[in-house]
Amino acid sequence: MIGAGAIGLGTAWHLAQRGHDVSVNDPRLNQPVLRQESGSGLNGTSASLGVLMGHVFRRNSGRGWRLRRRSMELWPQWIETLQAHQPGLKLHQGLLQIAEDERAAERMASLAAQRIDLGLQIVTNADLAAVWPTASHGGLHSRQDGRVDPLLLQLALRQALARQSVELNTTAVVGLERNDNRWRVHRADGDSSVHDVVLLCTALSTDALLEPLGHARPMTPVLGQALALQLETGPTTWANWPSVLVDQGFNLIPTAPGRLLLGATVEPGDRAADDPLALMRSLNERAPTWLRTATVIDHWSGLRARPVDRPAPLLEELEPGLILASGHYRNGVLLTPGTAEWVATALEQK
């Protein structure tokens, strides 16, 4: 297994639970799972907000929808088992999307009608008065969507892997080589080892390992930024608030009394710019005063790996024993359990 973000760690854990002999390589395994002290920048998972937008996804067919649904089914079991390693890890359920206009409200109404059994429900402006009084077209509440803390998730998975005696190797992988029917994995320290199966969960670095093998899977970096805010006025207890409130694509996530996370800007390129940050803080000039006047206590950014000319994510067996689970772009945390299950099925079908 190469890469120890949510996808690599989650898949390694799932495979180890199913009795596979697994080792994980990632230089970041040397570092604590913290946002502040990450010397080599954040991996996508540590930068992310961990929002699980499973059931509010509009399409209702195809691989993307199946992966989302399956992941949402698996999350409660995953969290329950992983809590043994990290008691603070929780599935924070309840996601509220605010309708921007009448058309959005109509789309939400039709989705809610189709997915009553999945816990979707329309909410009116009156219902929203205590939470988001500026809403003028109502919104959509999803009971099961919500959030997991991506830092606690990685901590729990690392601890679970250590308990399962999975080898955690802190050296970067620099090359892969076919070796009869097996794979030689070359590491940056000059060492190498041979494996039946290699699984790449390396996000943006994937192509560098695949290209020499004749498999081109380029990915574009898409920047995302997030803010941690301390409120001076406004809601302090978050009574009546959902775990995640989404307005115009911006996620607002209460984390403690008077504190929240704000994120979701998608910007092309790989440099953090000021303007999108300002837009995010003002919610396109529609933010309540308590949000505009909040103090920024932390700000970070990270890169999402978007596959070029292919739908995200890339789940493929490229050749016997070479499996790709990468390019999750905007939903890697959400899709972790479904991805892990996909990999196990691909391995066990042999």
Stretch that binds ligand FAD, among 46-54, 63-71, 99-107, 156-164 (CB under 6 A): 46-54
- Report the number of secondary-structure helices (H) and strands (E) in the chain: 10, 18
Stretch that binds ligand FAD, among 99-107, 222-230, 273-281, 340-348 (CB under 6 A): 222-230
SS3 category, 299 = strand
State which of residues 14, 33, 43, 151 lies at the interface with ligand FAD (CB under 6 A). Answer: 43
Q: Is 67 a binder of ligand FAD (CB under 6 A)?
A: no
Which residue's CB is nearer to ligand FAD, number 102 or number 177?
Answer: 177
Number of residues that bind ligand FAD (CB under 6 A): 40
Residue ranges of E strands in the chain = 23-25, 51-52, 92-98, 120-123, 139-147, 167-169, 173-179, 182-187, 192-195, 198-200, 219-230, 244-247, 250-256, 259-263, 267-268, 295-307, 314-319, 322-326
Stretch that binds ligand FAD, among 3-11, 73-81, 177-185, 281-289 (CB under 6 A): 3-11
Residue 24 beta carbon to ligand FAD: minimum distance, rounded to whole angstroms: 9
State which of residues 1, 13, 25, 228 lies at the interface with ligand FAD (CB under 6 A). Answer: 25
State which of residues 44, 54, 254, 338 lies at the interface with ligand FAD (CB under 6 A). Answer: 44
Tokens for 132, please give them: 């988001």
Q: Is 343 a binder of ligand FAD (CB under 6 A)?
A: no
CB 231 within 8 A of CB 298: no
Which residue's CB is nearer to ligand FAD, number 26 or number 105?
Answer: 26
Q: Is 304 a binder of ligand FAD (CB under 6 A)?
A: yes
CB 106 within 8 A of CB 62: no
CB 46 within 8 A of CB 190: no
State which of residues 226, 280, 314, 315 lies at the interface with ligand FAD (CB under 6 A). Answer: 226
Chain centroid, CA 266 distance in Å: 14
CB 20 within 8 A of CB 347: yes
State which of residues 4, 16, 72, 151 lies at the interface with ligand FAD (CB under 6 A). Answer: 4
Tokens for 290, please give them: 């308590």
Tokens for 255, please give them: 């984390």
Which residue's CB is nearer to ligand FAD, number 31 or number 125?
Answer: 31
CB 339 within 8 A of CB 328: yes
Q: Is 260 a binder of ligand FAD (CB under 6 A)?
A: no
Tokens for 88, please give them: 């603070």
Stretch that binds ligand FAD, among 41-49, 87-95, 129-137, 278-286 (CB under 6 A): 41-49
Stretch that binds ligand FAD, among 75-83, 111-119, 121-129, 321-329 (CB under 6 A): 321-329
Q: Is 217 a binder of ligand FAD (CB under 6 A)?
A: no
Bridge partners of 139, per DSSP, are 98, 123
Contact residues toward ligand FAD (CB under 6 A) are 2-8, 25-26, 28, 43-45, 47-51, 172-173, 201-203, 205, 209, 224-226, 263, 302-304, 326, 328-334
